[in-house]
């Protein structure tokens, strides 16, 4: 994960409960992209939303908002690629994880998540398959 998020500070939400210091690697952001606003909550894995636990996972949750039609929508591929580029380096692998249905905890119908473990390397399929 990028260690410097200063390029995102102008998009950082300064409202509770996601208030975070400028430059920190935890927070909520509203970033305009291709006519939508991407609403993002991100952490580098060192703390959760309450600032308490080492989760061992870097995590970004994203949903897209259309300001013209005032409608929330699920992010598309280009939006997720853009978000990945804002929080991780080009040579880092992150996953969009689909857990077992029994483990679903859906608090928002239009959110997608990007994850990266901090203490393991994600195994990859053969390059010809991706």
Q: Report the CATH number at residue 105.
A: 3.40.1720
Please give the backbone phi and psi of residue 51, each rounded to the nearest 5 degrees, phi first. Answer: 75, 25
Query: Residue 107: helix, strand or coil by DSSP?
Result: coil
Residue 53 belongs to a domain: yes
Residue 82 belongs to a domain: yes
Residue 42 belongs to a domain: yes
Segment 60-117, tens digit of pLDDT: 999 999 999 999 999 999 999 999 999 999 999 999 988 888 988 877 889 999 999 9
Q: Could you tell me the residue range of the domain that residue 87 belongs to?
A: 6-129
Residue 40 belongs to a domain: yes
Percent of the chain at pLDDT > 90 equals 63
pLDDT at 121: 94
Residue 1 belongs to a domain: no
């Amino acid at each position: 994960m990028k260690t410097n998020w200063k390029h995102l500070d102008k998009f950082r939400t300064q409202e509770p409960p996601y208030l975070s210091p400028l430059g920190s690697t935890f927070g909520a952001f509203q970033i305009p992209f291709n006519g939508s606003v991407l609403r993002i909550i991100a952490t580098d894995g060192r703390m959760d939303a309450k600032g308490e636990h080492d989760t061992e996972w870097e995590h970004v949750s994203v949903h897209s908002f259309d300001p013209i039609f005032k409608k929330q929508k699920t992010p598309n591929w280009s939006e997720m690629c853009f978000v990945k580029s804002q929080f991780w380096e080009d040579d880092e692998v992150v996953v969009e994880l689909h857990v077992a249905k029994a483990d679903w905890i859906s608090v928002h119908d239009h959110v997608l998540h990007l994850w990266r473990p901090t203490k393991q390397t994600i195994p990859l399929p053969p390059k010809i398959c991706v």
